[in-house]
């Protein structure tokens, strides 16, 4: 997670941190769901839906400063745009790895009470 992104989110509630905690928890919940949807759309070969779900995950990842996750999502989105869903499957391990890494960072951040 990028410190500047976290600082911006923390500023939403005057630095108290409750809003940041809420945003990070929602990110994790929504992120899990979007990863599952991306997997389903790859299996169904739905390029349009792949593009949309990858874009959604990229956007929420950008809000928390998840550059690695965003990079993988942008590649998935590009593959969806050109209709290459069969090639998208190779990025799922990278996507899960980036999300797992981010999840660990978020849980550590929340445990520290930031």
pLDDT averaged over 10-residue windows placed end to end, the chain, 114 residues: 74 72 89 96 96 96 92 97 94 96 90 74
Count of C-beta atoms within a 10 Å radius of residue 77? 19
Write the DSSP assignment of 19-86 as a string of letters: HHHHHHHHHHHHHHHHHHHHHHHHHHT-HHHHHHHHHHHHHHHHHTT-HHHHHHHHHHHHHHHTT-HH
**CATH number, residue 99:** 1.20.120.160
**What is the pTM assigned to this prediction?**
0.86
Provide the domain count of the chain: 1
Q: Cβ neighbours of residue 39 under 8 Å, at least 6 residues apart?
A: 92
Q: Which domain holds residue 74?
A: 3-111
């Amino acid at each position: 997670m990028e410190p500047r992104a976290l600082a911006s989110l923390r500023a939403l509630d005057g630095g108290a941190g409750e809003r940041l905690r809420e945003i990070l928890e929602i990110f994790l919940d929504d992120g899990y769901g979007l990863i599952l949807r991306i997997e389903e759309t790859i299996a169904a070969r739905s390029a349009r839906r792949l593009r949309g779900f990858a874009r959604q995950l990229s956007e929420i990842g950008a809000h928390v400063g998840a550059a690695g996750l965003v990079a993988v999502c942008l590649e998935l989105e590009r593959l969806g745009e050109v209709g290459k869903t069969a090639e998208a499957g190779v990025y799922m391990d990278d996507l899960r790895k980036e999300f797992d890494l981010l999840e660990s960072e978020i849980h550590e951040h929340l445990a520290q009470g930031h």
